Structure 1
């Protein structure tokens, strides 16, 4: 009885092994093709049918070169013959990128790995093919990004230079050294991120599609950061002349306040006389001033505090006050607050107060700043009356 069982076990093991191998071939996501020494296809899996668009019965018994476009189609038999004659391996056990051709004639990039299997009677070759269309598309996109990146940076640098020249000509800023430092900071950091991602994509071996997409998105985001910095400075230098109209401060200041969406831990007090006369300013530009001032007050009170908005008639002009009891500013910071790219915040380009000052100048308004560390900041904005300006 024992001897009989021993004789039966190898056969049972072979059946089980063949079943496992069949399951692997059937469920594999990569195409698996087995050919003989002449290149005739002896076996294909379901993934091969899906990849090339042929049914298995259309491929079995045919030369594997049917899945290759020219010139590989014509060269393939020569590769097999040369290997059989010389034993010199060009692809077996190495793997390489190749081009496949579907039944409909369309082509696709593939990674091919070939292994050699010797039986007692003959020699077979197994090819495993993976569709790398997504990877090649990502590589092409990366090359395009790299090809245009230098040009875009040069264009942006030229635009930045023109913007700086305009600022100098208009004598709006006297500290170009600090401006240059801020510009370099705003551009150098994203450029370093771009360089790191580009290096990874150019040198990584078989990066996953997800990793490739992540780095491509990072490059795109950093290019946008550079573009936004240049655009913001250019817009500041070319701020258009105001299209002034009569504005009711008591009506649009509350709207601006609502747009800023302050947190509940900031208590707001508003005081606008009912008989306050209209002011004369650009209805698009002047609200930017007060949005910047309110946001600055918010940032100055991270733990909450008091924000007071008021308006009154003073010397035939409307004086609008924005006051907080936040962290305040030192005299040195207060002096430099309108410099482009100067900021005490961890984030932001430091253009908010520079834009605020430019808008006020354009609209014939004036600004007075009073601030003390740990006691708060007060801005007084003086705006001309509509009845005197028309």
Structure 2
């Protein structure tokens, strides 16, 4: 391409370029600008040619510009040459706007020229600011929603606590109100009977004594549950424990018991007085669930660092609501008893670092799986 053609192409590029293109000499004097520069800054070309380029910059860039050029002339240190950067431009009317500036050095015979390509990034900065605002708003909304969720969760927990407390209180009230009513009836008789016989007087006094004992037993049982002592753990043989419990429970003959316990099952690590209470409660519950007979299976297996003992019956089973409330003190589906068995069971398991899984369906039976740490892993 001939020199004339090159100049024509260059002139066409300068004339049609969207970005502002400014050529300055070593002192910062503007030697050439394109049409985009005029549109961008609001100056005519003849107002800019021959002027220092710092006329297009606000403070502090205005004052710093000559220093950049002097430093480059003296040391060769490039402060902005060859490095794209964000700067602020100043229009003829004094308004400021953001620019992206890229400066390159041009060798022209015996002197140096610098070409600056400037792009107005006002729209980009506005979009960036809007995005930051949206992000800030989004962060605030997320925080607000998280706070609302936390508040709702706290309220739900509190409501559940109150609901549980209400159910427990109802159980306690039931255990105490009935004996109190009996006491009140007997006290009324003794206070108002004109000529009670010695036998009647003794009958009502004995009734009062029994009901006071009943109330005391309820309070003591609840107190014992709350103050369950810390376990004194030691190695335990699961097979021996289950065999002993079965002998003590004396299950009726219409319940067929199957035991599947491997001979090489490792010892477990638990309190030898507390852990049997768990399986006594589970086996008694299974017995009560099979009042007309059925099958009870006791099995155990070694699983990693635990022994899993399964107690499975094919009795009447439990509804989901009963399963959910089974560990509540004073909750019971039985006609007799205070409903503390499963509450005590759960407390013992927790203190002995054991866990329990429960599956039950109405009329299909119930399965408890108790995971107990093995002795070798716990000592």
Is it true that 1:313 corresponds to 2:313 in the alignment?
Answer: no
- Alpha-carbon distance, 1:262 to partner: 0.8
- Alpha-carbon distance, 1:315 to partner: 2.2
Corresponding position of 2:252: 263
1:338 to 299, 318, 327: 327
Q: TM-score, normalised by structure 2?
A: 0.57
Alpha-carbon distance between aligned partners in 2 of 1:301 and 1:292, rounded to the nearest angstrom: 14
Corresponding position of 1:229: 218
SS across alignment from 2:291: coil
Alpha-carbon distance between aligned partners in 2 of 1:290 and 1:367, rounded to the nearest angstrom: 12
Alpha-carbon distance between aligned partners in 1 of 2:161 and 2:267, rounded to the nearest angstrom: 29
* CA distances 1:149-174 after superposition (whole Å, capped 9, x unpaired): xxxxxxxxxxxxxxxxxxx9xx9997
How many correspondences in the alignment? 221
1:275 to 264, 267, 272: 264
Alpha-carbon distance between aligned partners in 2 of 1:238 and 1:297, rounded to the nearest angstrom: 27
Is it true that 1:359 corresponds to 2:348 in the alignment?
Answer: yes
Q: TM-score, normalised by structure 1?
A: 0.55
2:286 to 284, 292, 297: 297
* CA distances 1:173-220 after superposition (whole Å, capped 9, x unpaired): 971110111111110000000000011111112211111111111000
Unaligned runs of 5+ in 1: 1-167
8 Å CA contact retained: 1:173, 1:339: no
SS across alignment from 1:268: strand
Corresponding position of 2:49: none
Corresponding position of 1:180: 169
Is it true that 1:206 corresponds to 2:195 in the alignment?
Answer: yes
Alpha-carbon distance between aligned partners in 2 of 1:174 and 1:204, rounded to the nearest angstrom: 43
Alpha-carbon distance between aligned partners in 2 of 1:385 and 1:177, rounded to the nearest angstrom: 38
8 Å CA contact retained: 1:330, 1:371: yes
* CA distances 1:333-367 after superposition (whole Å, capped 9, x unpaired): 10110011111111111110000000000000000
Higher alpha-carbon deviation: 226-235 or 205-214: 205-214
8 Å CA contact retained: 1:279, 1:385: yes
Superposed CA RMSD:
1.6
SS across alignment from 1:322: strand
2:204 to 191, 206, 215: 215
Alpha-carbon distance between aligned partners in 2 of 1:188 and 1:315, rounded to the nearest angstrom: 49
Alpha-carbon distance between aligned partners in 2 of 1:221 and 1:261, rounded to the nearest angstrom: 28
Corresponding position of 1:190: 179
SS across alignment from 1:175: helix
SS across alignment from 1:310: strand
- Runs (4 or more) in structure 1 with deviation over 6 Å come to 171-174
Larger radius of gyration, structure 1 or 2? 2
